[in-house]
């Protein structure tokens, strides 16, 4: 429900434009029903924090601070959005903000309640699937594709790997199981009382 602001990455990169297309696949039907309104839909050159902050400031100003969600395509840009929310005099965490890549600043903000969550594209799982695919191809075996994706030339077999949204609810498990990615002491540096005991 409410006003949604979409802040994408660099407009010249396929990953950025496809993420924005993904937002629209989910949100456009809701907008057509009048359940939500997309009040901002902007890309940010170079995936820059400053550009995202400027977009967020404009969205807040033009909508009297009535934004119900910021969907942001990269954690570094989410930092700029959080700065815009703070600059508008709004309480940290009062507007859900998402990001992607689970960078340290985002993980800390999620723990502290300033950011809703970050999309984790699981590069570790991607790497394992990629290696298994390469070995299967080298041995002329089935690669285990579960879908196809069109690259404007042909339908290409697609070995899908999962993508996760890590919010405050999932963070303890994520932090314990991904210490190869982020040190748990750093993640909970500003909120040590919330630090989980890992098994």
pLDDT digits (tens, 9 = 90+) for 66-83: 999 999 999 999 999 999
pLDDT tens profile 138-164 = 999 999 998 998 988 999 999 999 999
**Which pLDDT value is given to residue 65?**
97
Q: What percent of the chain has pLDDT over 90?
A: 96
Instruction: Report the mean per-residue pLDDT for the chain.
Output: 96
SS in 3 state form for the chain? CEEEEEEECCCCCHHHHHHHHHHHHHHHHHHHCCCEEEEEEEECHHHCHHHHHHHHHHHHHHCCCCCCEEEECCHHHHHHHHHHHHHCCCCCCCCCEEEECCCHHHHHHHHHCCCCEEEECCHHHHHHHHHHHHHHHHCCCCCCCCEEEECCCCEEEECCCCCEEEECCCHHHHHHHCCCCCCHHHHCCCCHHHCCCCC
- pLDDT tens figures, 37-54: 999 999 999 999 999 999
pLDDT at 96 over 90: yes
């Amino acid at each position: 429900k409410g006003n949604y602001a979409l802040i994408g990455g660099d407009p010249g990169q396929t990953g950025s434009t496809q993420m924005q297309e993904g937002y629209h696949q989910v949100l456009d039907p809701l907008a057509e029903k009048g359940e939500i309104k997309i009040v901002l839909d902007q890309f940010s050159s170079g995936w820059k924090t400053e550009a995202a902050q400027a977009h967020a400031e404009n969205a807040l100003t033009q909508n009297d601070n009535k934004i119900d969600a910021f969907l942001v395509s990269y954690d570094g840009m989410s930092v700029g959005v959080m700065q815009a929310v703070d600059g508008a005099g709004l309480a940290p965490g009062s507007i859900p903000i998402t990001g992607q890549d689970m960078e340290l600043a985002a993980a800390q903000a999620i723990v502290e309640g300033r950011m809703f969550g970050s999309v984790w594209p699981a590069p570790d799982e991607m790497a394992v699937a990629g290696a298994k695919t390469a070995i299967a191809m080298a041995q002329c075996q089935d690669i285990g594709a579960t879908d196809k994706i069109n690259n404007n030339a042909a339908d290409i077999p697609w070995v899908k790997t999962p993508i996760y949204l890590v919010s405050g609810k999932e963070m303890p498990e994520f932090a314990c199981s991904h210490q190869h990615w982020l040190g748990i002491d750093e993640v909970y540096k500003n909120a040590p009382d919330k630090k989980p005991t890992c098994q």
